[in-house]
């Protein structure tokens, strides 16, 4: 059976040197994603897809002769992308473009700063994979902003470039249709010879109707360039608007894609005139504004708060990463968490790697609901998932080994109720390789915390303290139960920290 969780070894965001997909696998993934999107459009369902990009590398990008414009002015050479040449039919403005505060710069590279802002899409190519302008696709109005890594800072020349284009269309349906077509164009990247898809992942936000971040790599024209070009394209539709964010840089072929996800989500909020998730809204009652108290990074357990997986040595320890689209938070998850209609969500994923394989994973999601009744209904839905553990469209087909049991008194954080179950599913390596996963859902006031923790073992579980058990191994530490509980406690404590 295909094991999507084990496949994630190809998409590590924080582990330098992780291998990318083979060309054949990347093309297969791209074909699969395109089929899914077409099916979604046919059914009239909002498509949600996303992608990752990766830690940057060192190469000069030829930006030294471009001046920084700290207070961008309209470019005289910029061309309006509206078919009529007028923005009168649209209320989109430059204020709907992302600012440097919305962008996440990946360590060790300096922060992004504004270089230039345009009315329209500009006269030069801002994305190598998109050969048709947004104006040609029916946009009423467009604006563009270019960013560069802060000049003079260490590694600035290696960061590449980043730009964002926002466009307004005549309807939300049209905007979503255009965003899906743009994503398909980014995957195929027909504008560049020999481009290969390097990765694609899902993105979820309360304001986004469809979105993707697609990463391709291709050979440079310069034979002396000791790396390949990487273009990451984030496409997001929200209301009647579309965002296209492009990151281009030089990378060596062993460097994994980095992430544009947080930057794209922040920019999507900015595009529709709402405060990004990490900023308080000045008017939480205004239409389209996020709730006054949004979830944030403080609600996610940190790597340093997770106990070590002591059965395996790891040079990195718990390593945060961005998984592929096929990976749910819980193996027994029937649907994507967006089906629960939470008002806000944050999530994180960690992995434990040996020299040769990933052997442990922690998936955490924190969901905020409109009221306690909505949170309780979602809790009951997740409990049903954990009991039935269906073979599902998320690509996981687990076997339940322990039905949900109440563990609320064990967590110390004081949840109203909490339940844990266990499931197994085969590892990618075949044979007796098996993922052993514990799944937790905890409810506290208007919030749920979900924790999926898996260890690779097999055919026996990671440890057992029962000497009568055929799987008992006296040379293995019986620390699995304590490790599970410690991970759950840390995740729940962080998830509800601002409510206590």
**DSSP letter string, 30-56:** HHHHHHHHHHHHHHTPPP---------
Q: How confident is the model at residue 384 (pLDDT cuts 50, 70, 90)?
A: very high
- Apex 250 CA angle, 145 and 255, nearest 5: 115
With pLDDT > 90 as the criterion, what percentage of the chain qualifies? Answer: 40
Task: For 168-228, give the DSSP string.
Answer: E-SSHHHHHHHHHHHHHHHHH-TTSTT-EEEEEE----TT-SEEEEEEEEE--S-TT--SE
pLDDT digits (tens, 9 = 90+) for 158-202: 889 999 999 999 999 999 999 989 998 998 999 998 898 887 766
Between the CA of residue 438 and those of 33, 299, 488, what are the distances in Å?
Answer: 29, 21, 10
Whole-number Å distance between alpha carbons of 399 and 1: 13
Among 487, 420, 490, 430, smallest CA distance to 456 is for 430
* Residue 327, pLDDT above cutoff 70: yes
For residue 136, give the DSSP letter.
T
b/e code 106-140 from CB counts within 10 Å (16+ = b)? beebbebbbbbbbbbbbeeebbbbbeebbbebbbb
320, β-bridge pairs: 350
Among 122, 118, 121, smallest CA distance to 140 is for 121
* Domains located in the chain, CATH noted: 6-271 (no CATH), 297-499 (3.40.1000)
Contact 187, 197 (CB under 8 A): yes
Give 287's contacts (C-beta < 8 A, 6+ positions apart).
none
Range scoring the smallest mean pLDDT among 121-135, 180-194, 326-340: 326-340
pLDDT for the residue 475: 64
pLDDT digits (tens, 9 = 90+) for 135-156: 999 999 999 999 999 988 888 8
pLDDT for the residue 154: 84
Q: How confident is the model at residue 254 (pLDDT cuts 50, 70, 90)?
A: low
Whole-number Å distance between alpha carbons of 234 and 102: 14
Pick the more confident residue, 282 or 221: 221
């Amino acid at each position: 059976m295909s094991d999507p969780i084990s496949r994630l070894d190809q998409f590590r965001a924080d582990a330098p040197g992780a291998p990318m997909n083979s060309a054949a696998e990347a093309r297969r993934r791209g074909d699969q994603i395109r089929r899914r999107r077409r099916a979604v459009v046919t059914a009239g369902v909002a498509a949600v897809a996303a992608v990752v990009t990766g830690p940057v590398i060192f190469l000069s990008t030829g930006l030294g002769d471009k001046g920084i414009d700290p207070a961008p002015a309209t470019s005289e050479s910029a061309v309006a992308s509206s078919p009529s040449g007028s923005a009168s039919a649209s209320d989109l403005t430059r204020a709907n473009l992302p600012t440097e505060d919305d962008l996440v710069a990946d360590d060790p590279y300096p922060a992004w700063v504004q270089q230039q802002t345009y009315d329209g899409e500009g006269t030069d190519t801002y994305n190598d994979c998109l050969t048709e302008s947004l104006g040609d696709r029916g946009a009423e109005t467009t604006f563009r902003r270019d960013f560069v890594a802060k000049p003079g800072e260490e590694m600035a020349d290696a960061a590449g470039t980043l730009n964002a284009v926002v466009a307004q269309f005549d309807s939300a349906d049209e905007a979503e249709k255009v965003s899906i077509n743009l994503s398909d164009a980014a995957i195929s990247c027909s504008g560049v010879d020999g481009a290969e898809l390097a990765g694609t992942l899902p993105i979820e936000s309360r304001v986004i109707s469809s979105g993707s971040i697609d990463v391709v790599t291709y050979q440079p024209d310069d034979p002396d360039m000791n790396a390949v070009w990487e273009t990451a394209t984030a496409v997001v539709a929200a209301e009647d608007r579309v965002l296209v964010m492009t990151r281009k840089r030089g990378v060596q072929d062993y460097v994994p894609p980095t992430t544009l996800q947080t930057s794209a989500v922040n920019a999507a909020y900015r595009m529709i005139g709402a405060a990004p998730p990490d900023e308080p809204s000045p008017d939480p009652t205004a239409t389209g504004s996020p709730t006054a108290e949004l979830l944030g990074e403080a609600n996610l357990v940190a790597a340093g708060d997770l106990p070590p997986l002591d059965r395996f040595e790891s040079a990195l320890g718990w390593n945060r990463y961005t998984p592929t689209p096929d990976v749910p938070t819980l193996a027994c998850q029937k649907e994507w968490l967006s089906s629960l209609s939470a008002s806000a969500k944050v999530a994180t994923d960690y992995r434990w790697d040996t020299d040769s394989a990933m052997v442990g994973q922690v998936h955490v999601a924190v969901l905020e609901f409109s009221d306690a009744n909505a949170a309780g209904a979602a809790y009951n839905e997740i409990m049903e998932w954990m009991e039935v553990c269906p073979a599902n469209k998320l690509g996981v087909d687990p076997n339940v080994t322990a039905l949900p049991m109440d563990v609320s008194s064990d967590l110390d954080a004081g949840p109203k109720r909490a339940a844990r179950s266990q499931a197994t599913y085969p590892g990618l390596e075949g044979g007796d390789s098996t993922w052993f996963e514990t799944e937790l859902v905890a409810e506290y006031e208007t919030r749920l915390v979900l924790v999926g923790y898996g260890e690779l073992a097999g055919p026996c579980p990671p440890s057992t303290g029962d000497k009568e058990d055929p799987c008992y191994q006296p040379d293995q530490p019986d620390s699995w139960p304590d490790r599970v509980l410690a991970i759950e406690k840390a995740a729940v404590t962080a998830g509800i920290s601002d409510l206590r």
